[in-house]
Amino acid sequence: MEAVTLSGRRILLVVSGGIAAYKALELVRLLKKSGAAVTAVLTRAGAEFVTPLSLQALTEEKVYQDLFSLTDESEMGHIQLSRAADLVVVAPASADILAKMAAGLAGDLATTLLLATDKPVLVAPAMNVRMWTHPATVANVQTLKSRGVCVVEPDEGPMACGEFGPGRLAEPAIILDHILRQWTPKPGPLAGRHALVTSGPTHEPIDPVRYIANRSSGRQGHAIAAALAALGARVTLIAGPVTVPDPLGVSVVKVETAAQMLSAVQVALPADIAVLAAAVADWRVAEPQVGKIKKQPGAEVPALRLIPNPDILATLSQPGPARPRLVIGFAAETDDVIAHAIAKRLRKGCDWLIANDVSPASGVMGGAENEVHLITAAGVEDWPRLPKDAVAARLAARILQELTGETP
């Protein structure tokens, strides 16, 4: 397995109060060395131990402190901060901030963004031994764990207060290891299997500023990649231009055109599973212009000569040693959905086809929900309308059953 790095990942680091706050500077150094971009939020108590200037020098980014900053909050800065990161890390996490997180309080910038975030959260507690073992702190930590917060248990040893016991902040290298684990595939029923997923649209250039595209958001493909990773598969996600965040634990290759996507798919082989969810443009401009096509008064509208794009699904479905064990395509239709999808599966040669109605009234393309039909050699399964994450989980479960006979 390749070594996990944080290249391309964005970490939001919350530094709360306590003598251990100085270790946050070393953690920033290690995160940057591993390739992460780090944005720091410093609480009022944290600023008693480390300075905004020291954090800014190491992160090379602005340090945020004030919930009521007019410049930041004019654009709802606390919401942007909470959702722009791939992972929120609280280190050190004082007893006070753990209690506020457990209670859902939001009295300052740090607690507000922690309440508003929809991203994974990791905390590294640090406090006096008696505070750490107090029933209130024990209950708060258990509450956070039950909500999916990753807790890096504190070390045991001598403390600044002169006492000895658990409560020392884990060493920055240990915290980094736990952060890296967030992107390390977990053992699961698909462990050892390689899944290849394509997602999003493609952009086919007309000239340097214009392109042919479609309304695909990439939400469904990205959700499928995340669902397969959650079952332990090693996932390569080849994504066209999208704005949805990269899933955790997934290797992402970003492309723009259909030709680039095909090339990336071929490089990613061999794979056990291929889910080609991308809405690849059927055609591209034969001769994209090097310069911008200018609109000239009285001139004729320029004619665009289109040629077919490579058929990624048909290419990957061809028999041969490189063919994945299970090839799944998508059919986005606006009429006669089932009939078109059945014909497409036979024409392309794939094993399964996921068909859906993408007419404007359906709200599927670019939306949060999907209503699909699973087309196989055995027939047609009509699935109910579900959030795209739920569709992805259901498809991943069917893939697991097909390959192993197991159910999640």
Which amino acids are annotated catalytic? 161
Give the number of other Cβ atoms within 10 Å of residue 268's Cβ.
Answer: 19
- 75 to each of 62, 72, 79, 81, how far by Cα in Å? 16, 6, 9, 11
- 220 to each of 47, 226, 387, how far by Cα in Å? 42, 10, 9
40, 47 Cβ separation under 8 angstroms: no
- 70 to each of 74, 211, 222, how far by Cα in Å? 6, 38, 35
How far, in Å, CA of 20 to CA of 160, rounded? 9
Q: Beta strand pairing status for 155-158 and 283-285?
A: unpaired
- 12 to each of 28, 106, 119, how far by Cα in Å? 10, 17, 10
330 annotated binding-site participant = yes
Q: Which two tokens stand for residue 128?
A: 């006096």
Q: What are phi and psi of 154, to 5 degrees?
A: -70, 160
348 annotated binding-site participant = yes
How far, in Å, CA of 388 to CA of 394, rounded? 10
282 annotated binding-site participant = yes
Burial of 91 (C-beta count, 10 Å sphere; 0-12/13-18/19+): buried
- Measured between its terminal Cα atoms, the distance across the chain in Å is 24
246 annotated binding-site participant = no
**Alpha carbons within 13 A on the beta-carbon side of 323:** 16
141, 149 Cβ separation under 8 angstroms: no
311 annotated binding-site participant = yes
193, 213 Cβ separation under 8 angstroms: no
Give the number of other Cβ atoms within 10 Å of residue 52's Cβ.
Answer: 16
How far, in Å, CA of 173 to CA of 23, rounded? 10
Annotated binding site for CTP: 282, 292, 310-313, 330, 344, 348
Annotated binding site: 282, 292, 310-313, 330, 344, 348
